[in-house]
Structure 1
Amino acid sequence: MPDDADRFFVITGGPGSGKSTLLSALEADGQLCLPEAGRAIIQAQVAIGGAALPWSDRSAFAELMLSWEIRSYQTAQATSRIAFFDRGVPDVAGYLRLTGLPVPAHVEKAIEIYRYNRSVFIAPPWPEIFTQDRERKQDFDEAVRTYEALAATYSACGYGLIELPRVSVKERAAFVLRTVAAPA
Structure 2
Amino acid sequence: MNPFVVISGCSGGGKSSLIQELARRGYAVVEEPGRRIVAEERAAGGRALPWTDLAAFARRAIAVAAADRTSHEGAGDWVFFDRGLVDVAVALAHATAADRLDPTVTRNPYHRAMFMAPPWPEIYETDDARLHSLDEAVAEYDRLLPAYRDLGYDITFLPKIGIEDRADFVVERLAMRRR
TM-score (norm 2): 0.93
The 5 A counterparts of 1:127-166 are 127-166=121-160
> Where do 5+ consecutive residues of structure 2 fail to align?
none
**What's the RMSD between the two structures over aligned residues?**
1.5
Q: Give yes or no for the alignment of 1:42 onto 2:38.
A: yes
Deviations 1:41-93 (A, max 9, x none): 01110110011111221111011110111011111114322111111111112
Contact 1:14 1:144 in 2 (8 A): yes
Letter in 1 for 2:35: R
Q: Give yes or no for the alignment of 1:15 onto 2:15.
A: no
Contact 2:54 2:91 in 1 (8 A): no
Letter in 1 for 2:90: G
Letter in 2 for 1:92: V
The 5 A counterparts of 1:1-184 are 3=1, 5=2, 7-99=3-95, 101-102=97-98, 107=102, 109-183=103-177
How many percent identity over aligned positions? 35
Letter in 1 for 2:69: Y
Moved more, 21-30 or 86-95: 86-95
Q: 1:82 to 1:56 in 2, by over 3 A?
A: same
- TM-superposed deviation, 1:103: 6.0
TM-score (norm 1): 0.91
- How many residues are matched? 178
> Where do 5+ consecutive residues of structure 1 fail to align?
none
